[in-house]
Chains A and B, each alone.
Chain A
């Protein structure tokens, strides 16, 4: 059976959920071989094995943290070379983070392959894996495939369920030689973001977002309290971010994050195309807005026309009461 390379996104050995989703998709087209790089790489093996990785290739070197993107490309290419030399390789799958996409794209150039980004589903096909993507602010769904080389595909979070599927997960050290370009861009300093304790926006099952109607940074606690009552991530519209009410890392929309949770709650968001582009593929959509004509109501499964300053606290209180 052909193998599928899966690039592992992890933090000091803790594997992030989108990688486990990738393993589910990888098993549809072949045997997953995981590639984990950097500090804690070997610690990823147990959980990757539980989710179907037959092999885990690991490498650690200071270059991965000290220079931007390219050292990881060198390592992924080494993995590609070693796996494709030993047998047939069906695809290379990478999580669709900003960095993941850059790593995947540079690998694709090197191995002479086409690339598909931001797939939301993947299935086996006669001419190689078929990727489903959302296009034009998610108003279209396309099916595409890579027609030259080994398909390189990046997949968005929440595109597949996490499934237990025990496999060997044999750890093998990956030999990496860094090329001349690897040290081109130095990371001089890195300031980690303060953790909010809430789920990652793109990975969350529930997202609660606030927009212009929230009317000030000082009111965003209403959105946060609702989010916390549901164990949700907090998002913000571009209007709220541009006004400086909430950080850009939480922006949902065309120039921010694109999310696809089980439940999306939009509060005080009119639903301009810029915003819809980032949340239209959510499974269930709920909105609270005082303007009955707001375009967001065209998307909702349930909408409340009303003042969010009344509705949101009542909703939060009711959720807390029901959860006891």
Chain B
């Protein structure tokens, strides 16, 4: 039987762009180019490697996001995923992690899955909690923050490198896995992959198809509220000296003046 892998990806504003908030305090998506979150490329890569090892596997990429989020799906398809699902609905605007995870969980149930793979965090929200929340919502094992992952005979194993210890984990499928940026360099899409991606199927689902009410998601339906967002004041210009042989001593003098020594 085919191994059904679903990779959850996020379309995010480019971290090297001038990211800011819109008037309603959601992430502004107008002024900054969007792309597939860099950390999700690692998830797509691991899915491709797991699919290579399996006798028969199918990779679906799933995203919840605005119309342009299709770009993120295309990127994953051009890397080698087989098909894509785009959950898109105006009522989703402003959804927080609880709302988004609700939609993802419903979409995963509808799509069917043996293995869900995500990145370790998004590069915009950077919470890093979505994989654990998905596992909780779906009622399947959570095998997260892996820097090494392997799937064999209905079992997922992996190494989780924590701050105090490195752990070897094992769980039965179906499961939710998240992988870190240490899991292995993500491949670049080949020209052939980019051309092939144009013909791969992308399904669009809305909230009605997932039987989710508009008031369960979006800015109003979310579980958290942002009251204000302010640009951090620019740091006041510091003292910069050129080392003429005494730079280390001058720096020590500064540190002593600040009571660090």
Which 10 A-B pairs have CB atoms at the shortest separation, nearest pair first? A306-B243, A314-B248, A114-B223, A184-B141, A105-B129, A318-B252, A315-B248, A102-B132, A114-B224, A303-B240
Closest residue on chain A to residue B120 by CB atoms: A255
Determine whether the beta carbon of B143 is less than 8 Å from that of A185.
Answer: yes
Instruction: Tell me the residues in window 266-324 of chain A with beta carbons closer than 8 Å to chain B beta carbons.
Output: 273-274, 277, 280, 284-286, 288, 292, 297-307, 310-319, 322-323
Determine whether the beta carbon of A302 is less than 8 Å from that of B165.
Answer: no
Determine whether the beta carbon of A117 is less than 8 Å from that of B129.
Answer: yes
Main secondary structure of the interface of B (DSSP, over half): mixed
Q: Name the segment of B63-71, B72-80, B156-164 touching the other chain.
A: B156-164
Residues of chain A with a CB closer than 8 A to B93's CB: none
Bound CA–CA A317/B171 (angstroms): 52
Residues of chain B with a CB closer than 8 A to A104's CB: 129
Determine whether the beta carbon of B251 is less than 8 Å from that of A106.
Answer: no
Bound CA–CA A322/B128 (angstroms): 43
Please classify how large the interface on chain B is, using the bins under 10, 10 to 19, 20 to 34, 35 or more.
35 or more
Asked whether A85 is an interface residue with its Cβ less than 8 Å from the other chain, the reply is no
Determine whether the beta carbon of B232 is less than 8 Å from that of A140.
Answer: yes
Bound CA–CA A73/B132 (angstroms): 11
Known contacts A106-B132, A140-B20, A307-B243; is-contact A193 B98 (Cβ 8 Å): no
Known contacts A147-B225, A189-B167, A317-B248; is-contact A323 B261 (Cβ 8 Å): yes
Bound CA–CA A300/B164 (angstroms): 31
Residues of chain A with a CB closer than 8 A to B250's CB: 304
Shortest CB distance A171–B (Å)? 25
Q: Name the segment of A22-30, A52-60, A93-101 touching the other chain.
A: A93-101
Determine whether the beta carbon of B247 is less than 8 Å from that of A314.
Answer: yes
- Number of A residues, CB within 8 Å of B: 91
Determine whether the beta carbon of A101 is less than 8 Å from that of B127.
Answer: yes
Q: Could you list 19 A-B pairs, sorted by A, with CB under 8 Å? A: A105-B97, A114-B96, A115-B224, A140-B20, A142-B226, A142-B230, A145-B224, A147-B225, A148-B223, A187-B167, A188-B157, A189-B167, A190-B166, A193-B166, A273-B15, A277-B15, A286-B254, A298-B235, A305-B247
Determine whether the beta carbon of B169 is less than 8 Å from that of A11.
Answer: no
Asked whether B260 is an interface residue with its Cβ less than 8 Å from the other chain, the reply is yes
Bound CA–CA A306/B244 (angstroms): 8
Asked whether A146 is an interface residue with its Cβ less than 8 Å from the other chain, the reply is yes
Bound CA–CA A305/B244 (angstroms): 9
Bound CA–CA A284/B258 (angstroms): 9
The contact of A181 among B141, B239, B252, by CB within 8 Å, is B141
Known contacts A145-B225, A146-B223, A302-B239; is-contact A191 B255 (Cβ 8 Å): no
